[in-house]
Chains A and B, each alone.
Chain A
Amino acid sequence: MSVLSKFQEALVCLQAGRVTLPYPAQAQPVPAKFRGRPIFDAAKCIGCAGCANNCPAREILVFDVCQEVRILKYLGRRCTYCGRCADVCPEKAIIMSHEFENATDAIADIQQQIELFMSTCQRCGRCFKEPSPLEQLKLKGYRMDDLGNERWIYRSKAFLDEEQTVDDVNIELD
C-alpha cells in the first residue's frame, strides 16, 4: 500500500499549487486588530504614567524634570507589542500601529520621547483610572527613571512607604 500512499502524498502537493507570497516585494495587508509598533500621541497624553506602570517589558520610562515638565520615553527594545499600554491608557493616546517592519540598526528610529507640560494634579497620582486594583499606580508623586542610561529605576517594593515619600520630597527640593 505504500506506493499508493506515495501517490496520495504527491497529489496533496500537486493540488496545493504555488502558495509562496511575493514578500518582501509586496507585503500582505495586516488585519485590523494587528498589534504593531505602539505610537504615542503627545497631544492626547496627560502624563499619568499608567502605561509605564503596566508595561510588562518595562520599556516605558518616566522622568520628572521639575514640577511642570514630565518626560515619557519609549525604548522599543524589548517591547513585545502586547498592547497593554494602549489598553490601560485613559486618553487613548497610544495606538498599536500596523507597522511590523521594525528591524533597524539605529534604535532611535523606534524610540519615542514626549515632553509634557503637567498641570497641578501631578502629586495625587490618581489621574490614571485603573481597570482594576491589579493595575493601580504603584508610585505616586515624582518619577525618576534613568533616561540617560535608559534604565528603569523601580523600587523592589511596589508601593511607596513613608521613607520613600521623604526621598521624593528631597528630590523636589533639589
Chain B
Amino acid sequence: MFARDKLNLLKAKFSSAILRADLPADNRLYVFVEPRAIKPVCQHLFRDLDARYVISIGADDRPYSGQFLVAHNFAFDRDHLLCSVLTHLPADNPRLDSIAGVVTAANWAEREFRDLVGIEPVGHPYPKRLVLPDGWPDGAHPLRKDFAWNQVPEGFDDEREFAFDEPPEGCMVVPFGPFHPTLDEPAHFRLYVEGEMVRGCEYRGFMVHRGIEKLAESVLTYNEIPMMAERICGICGCVHNVAYAQAVESAATIGVPPRAEYLRTIMLEIERLHSHLLWVGLACHIVGFDTLFMQSWRIREPIMWIAEKISGNRKTYALCLIGGVRHDITPELKAELRSILDKLEAEWTPVVTAVLKDKNLQARTRGVGVADKTACKNTGLVGPVARAAGVDIDCRRDHPYAAYDRVDFDVITADGGDVWSRVVVRAKEVFESIRIIRQCLEKMEAGPMQAVIKDELPVGRLGLSSVEAPRGESHHFVITGENNRPRRWRVRAPTYQNLQGVPAMIKDQQLADMTISLGSIDPCFSCTDRLETVDLRTKAVKVWTPEELVKMVRAKTT
C-alpha cells in the first residue's frame, strides 16, 4: 500500500507534472515526471516525505525513445519502498535542473552523468569533472550509445593536468594518497591544513574507472555480467553479483527458488563475516594495534576456507546467475559450516569483550571522524557509518531480499557517530551474521537452485535492487534491453555515498586522524597516479610522469 500512498501524495501536489507511474510491486515505485518538475518533486520527496537519497542515473535512451533519460532514486526505509523518479530529456538539448542544491548527496551522481552521458545539471553548485581521466577531451561522453566500448576519443591528451582548486587563505596543501602507507587503495585527497588541523579537502578519485557498465551494455550478456559484477569489489564482490541478478530478476519478474534464496543469504553473510573481521583487523592496523590485526585475521581464515569449499574459491564465489545460484551446500558442508560458526563465535566473543574495554583504542577513536544524523541524511551515508550515528537503516530488514524476510536478526546501532561507534557496530554485527547463517541452515529446504527461464527476457523494463553490503547499501539499477543484455546497468557501491561524507568527517580535526577517519568508512577504491619526489639536499621538487615511471621500471627489469 505504501507505493500507492506515496504516489497519491505526489499526485496531490504535482498532478499536472506526473506523466506516468508504474507500481510493478508494492515495494517499487517508478514515477515519470516532466523535466521542469524534477527538482520540486525530488525536494518534496527528500525534505517533506523524508526519503533517503540513493543515486541518480543518466542514460542514453535515444535509440529507443529518441530521448535521454534521468532517474533519481530514493528509498523509504521504514515503508520498505524503493522509488525512482524518471524524466526524459530532448536528444538535442539534454539539460536538467540540478537537484544537488537541495539534495547534497546528489553532488557526485549528477557530475557523473554530466561526464559520462553528457546531461548537463543546470545550477549544480560544483560542476567539476569527477569520473573521466584528466586527459579525456571535453564533449566526449563514453556512456552514449554512439560511443563504441573500445573507442579512444579523438583529442585524448596525456599531458593535460587536472585543475585543482586553490586552497583557502592560510592553509597548506598536504597531498594524501594515492600512495599512502596506511591506505591500501588509491584515492587522492588534497588536504587543506592549517597547522595540524585539517580545514577542508578536495577529492580526486575514479583513477581506475574501468567502464564496466559500458562493457555490460555493449559486449557482455545477461549471464556473463554477474561474474564481472563480482569483480567490482575484492571484498564484497558477492554483494554486487547478487544485487545485479536481483535487479534483472526484478525487471523481468523472474521468481527465484527458495533454496537459491537461502544459499544467497548464506553466502552474503559469509562474506559479511569475512569483511567485518578483515575491517576490524585493518582498523586496528591503521591505529597501530597490530596484535588485534593479526588475531582478527586468524579468526577470519576458516571462513575463507569454508567459502572455498562451498563455491570453489576463497573470495570470488561466482555465485549467481539470473534466476538462481550455481553452488549448493551439501549436508557435509552444512555440518562443517556449523562447527566453523561455533568456533568463530567462541573465538570472537573474548576479542570483542576485551576490545570494548580497551581504553587505548577508545582514546584513539572516540570523537574522531564524526558524522552525525544530519550528515547522514544530507550526504546519504549508509551502512555501519549511518548505523553508528544512530540512523537505523539496514537493507536486509528495510528492503528484504533473498531469504532475509524469513530470518530473525537485530540491526545494531550506536549513537556516537565516531570511529569508535563504527568499531562497535561492526564487531557486534559479526554475531548477527552468525545467527542469520544458523537460521538459514536450519530452514533451508530442498529444491531446485535455478529458476527455469524459457523465454528471452522482456525489453525496456526497469529493475531496482538494494543489497546490504558489509559497508552499506549497494544499489543496482537495470533497464533490460535487446540482444540478451541490459540497455543500462548502474551500480552504486556504498563507498560512493560514504566517501562524500569524508570531507565533513575530517574537517577541523588533527591531520593524524585522517587515516582512521577514512579507514572507518571501509573505503573501497583502487589505482595509480603520479609520483612526486623531493630531493632533501637541494629541496628540488620533481614530479614524475607516468612515462618516466614506466621507463624507470622497464630499465630495472631488463
User: What is A's interface to B at a CB cutoff of 8 Å?
Assistant: 1-2, 4-6, 8-13, 16, 19, 30-31, 33-35, 54-58, 80-84, 87, 96, 131-136, 138, 154, 156-159
Residues of chain A with a CB closer than 8 A to B484's CB: 133-134, 136, 138, 158
Other A-B pairs, 20, CB within 8 Å; known A9-B295, A19-B301, A54-B224:
A1-B357, A4-B357, A5-B354, A8-B354, A13-B291, A16-B295, A31-B312, A54-B223, A56-B225, A56-B227, A58-B219, A80-B316, A81-B316, A84-B224, A84-B318, A87-B326, A132-B454, A133-B453, A133-B454, A136-B484
Name the one of A16, A83, A133 contacting B455, with C-beta atoms under 8 angstroms: A133
Residues of chain B with a CB closer than 8 A to A55's CB: 224
- Given contacts A33-B312, A134-B484, whether A2 and B295 have CB atoms under 8 Å apart is no
Inter-subunit contact B350/A81 (CB<8 Å): no
Residues of chain B with a CB closer than 8 A to A4's CB: 357
- Given contacts A8-B353, A56-B220, A134-B457, whether A35 and B318 have CB atoms under 8 Å apart is yes
Residues of chain A with a CB closer than 8 A to B452's CB: 132
Residues of chain B with a CB closer than 8 A to A154's CB: 219
Name the one of B224, B323, B350, B457 contacting A12, with C-beta atoms under 8 angstroms: B350
Closest to A132 in B: B453
B292 at the interface (CB under 8 A from A): yes
Residues of chain B with a CB closer than 8 A to A84's CB: 223-224, 227, 318
Residues of chain A with a CB closer than 8 A to B310's CB: 33
Question: What sequence of 0s and 1s flags, for each residue 31-56 of chain B, a beta carbon within 8 Å of any chain A beta carbon?
Answer: 00000000000000000000000000
Inter-subunit contact A80/B227 (CB<8 Å): yes
Inter-subunit contact B295/A82 (CB<8 Å): no
| A4, B354: Cα distance in complex, Å | 8
- Smallest CB–CB gap between B266 and chain A, Å? 15
Residues of chain A with a CB closer than 8 A to B318's CB: 35, 80, 82-84
| A58, B347: Cα distance in complex, Å | 43
A-B pairs with beta carbons under 8 Å apart, 7 shown: A12-B350, A33-B310, A56-B224, A82-B316, A84-B223, A136-B484, A158-B484
Residues of chain B with a CB closer than 8 A to A159's CB: 483
| A33, B336: Cα distance in complex, Å | 15
- Smallest CB–CB gap between B430 and chain A, Å? 15
Question: What sequence of 0s and 1s flags, for each residue 302-328 of chain B, a beta carbon within 8 Å of any chain A beta carbon?
Answer: 000100111111001010011100110
Inter-subunit contact A9/B354 (CB<8 Å): yes
User: What is B's interface to A at a CB cutoff of 8 Å?
Assistant: 148-149, 218-225, 227-228, 231, 291-292, 294-295, 298, 301, 305, 308-313, 316, 318, 321-323, 326-327, 347, 350-351, 353-355, 357-360, 450, 452-457, 483-485
- Smallest CB–CB gap between B232 and chain A, Å? 13
Residue of B224, B353, B483, B485 with most chain A CB atoms under a 10 A cut-off:
B224
- Smallest CB–CB gap between B79 and chain A, Å? 33
Inter-subunit contact A80/B354 (CB<8 Å): no
- Given contacts A13-B291, A34-B308, A132-B453, whether A56 and B228 have CB atoms under 8 Å apart is yes
| A158, B483: Cα distance in complex, Å | 5
Residues of chain B with a CB closer than 8 A to A132's CB: 223, 323, 452-454
Inter-subunit contact A2/B359 (CB<8 Å): yes
Inter-subunit contact B316/A12 (CB<8 Å): no
Residues of chain A with a CB closer than 8 A to B295's CB: 9, 12-13, 16
- Smallest CB–CB gap between A18 and chain B, Å? 10
Residues of chain A with a CB closer than 8 A to B222's CB: 134
Residues of chain B with a CB closer than 8 A to A57's CB: 227-228
Residues of chain B with a CB closer than 8 A to A56's CB: 220, 224-225, 227-228
| A151, B272: Cα distance in complex, Å | 38
Closest to A152 in B: B219
- Given contacts A2-B357, A2-B360, A82-B227, whether A156 and B218 have CB atoms under 8 Å apart is yes
Residue of A35, A80, A82 with most chain B CB atoms under a 10 A cut-off:
A82
Inter-subunit contact B220/A12 (CB<8 Å): no
Residue of A9, A11, A56 with most chain B CB atoms under a 10 A cut-off:
A56
Residues of chain A with a CB closer than 8 A to B231's CB: 80
- Smallest CB–CB gap between B383 and chain A, Å? 27
Residues of chain A with a CB closer than 8 A to B353's CB: 5, 8
Residues of chain B with a CB closer than 8 A to A12's CB: 295, 347, 350-351, 354
Residues of chain B with a CB closer than 8 A to A81's CB: 313, 316
Inter-subunit contact A158/B221 (CB<8 Å): yes
Residues of chain B with a CB closer than 8 A to A1's CB: 357, 359
Inter-subunit contact B453/A96 (CB<8 Å): no
Closest to B223 in A: A134
Closest to B353 in A: A8
Inter-subunit contact A30/B308 (CB<8 Å): yes
Residues of chain A with a CB closer than 8 A to B298's CB: 16, 19
Residue of B294, B312, B318, B355 with most chain A CB atoms under a 10 A cut-off:
B312
| A81, B326: Cα distance in complex, Å | 14
Inter-subunit contact A135/B350 (CB<8 Å): no
| A10, B354: Cα distance in complex, Å | 10
Inter-subunit contact B357/A96 (CB<8 Å): no
Residues of chain B with a CB closer than 8 A to A133's CB: 453-457, 484
| A80, B230: Cα distance in complex, Å | 11
- Smallest CB–CB gap between A81 and chain B, Å? 7
Closest to B356 in A: A5
- Smallest CB–CB gap between B59 and chain A, Å? 18
Closest to A58 in B: B219
Inter-subunit contact A35/B456 (CB<8 Å): no
Closest to A19 in B: B298
Inter-subunit contact A9/B291 (CB<8 Å): yes
Inter-subunit contact A138/B221 (CB<8 Å): yes
Residues of chain B with a CB closer than 8 A to A31's CB: 305, 308-309, 312
Residues of chain A with a CB closer than 8 A to B351's CB: 9, 12
Residues of chain A with a CB closer than 8 A to B301's CB: 19
